Amino acid sequence: MKRDNTPVFYAFLVTVVLFYLNLFTLVAGVSFIWKDLKKLGTAFNVITVMCVLALLNYLILYKGKKYEDIFNEFEIDSLGYKDWDFSIKIYIIVSITLCLIALIIADRINQGKLTI
């Protein structure tokens, strides 16, 4: 069966964005404790790491068409995955909330003057 590539692209985009949010939240939380971590966070380093992680995500899930197996499994056993709807929504909401909390804490630490 021929699939439209748009949902695949958006699935890739959502997984990468959520991964970046979670990674940012983790790094921000660690940098509140370990102040020297901020020195490693140059724009070039951050962009390089983000590109490498997006490439790894693409190679693992999308290059080898592994996503087709995942989509087929969800279509075959859709009733078995109904419980995931709530947990996925909670995961997305918690990820965004924790990221916003990390931004607010960083803003408070820097007296309202966030710098990159």
Task: Give a yes or no: residue 115 inside a domain.
Answer: no
Spatial separation of the C-alpha atoms in residues 92 and 110, rounded to whole Å: 27
Give the HSE-up count for residue 72: Cα atoms under 13 Å, Cβ half-sphere.
Answer: 8
Per residue in 85-110, pLDDT (tens digit) is 788 888 889 999 999 998 888 888 87
pLDDT of amino acid 1? 47
Tens-digit pLDDT profile for residues 21-51: 888 888 888 877 777 766 666 677 777 888 8
The answer to whether position 43 is within a domain reads yes
For residue 70, what pLDDT is reported? 72
DSSP sequence for 33-86: H-TTHHHH--HHHHHHHHHHHHHHHIIIIIITSHHHHHHHHHHHTGGGGTTHHH
Q: Is the pTM of this model over 0.85?
A: no
Q: Above 90 in pLDDT, residue 68? A: no
Parent domain of 83: 5-109
DSSP 8-state code for residue 92: H
In a domain, 114, yes or no: no
Count how many domains the chain has: 1
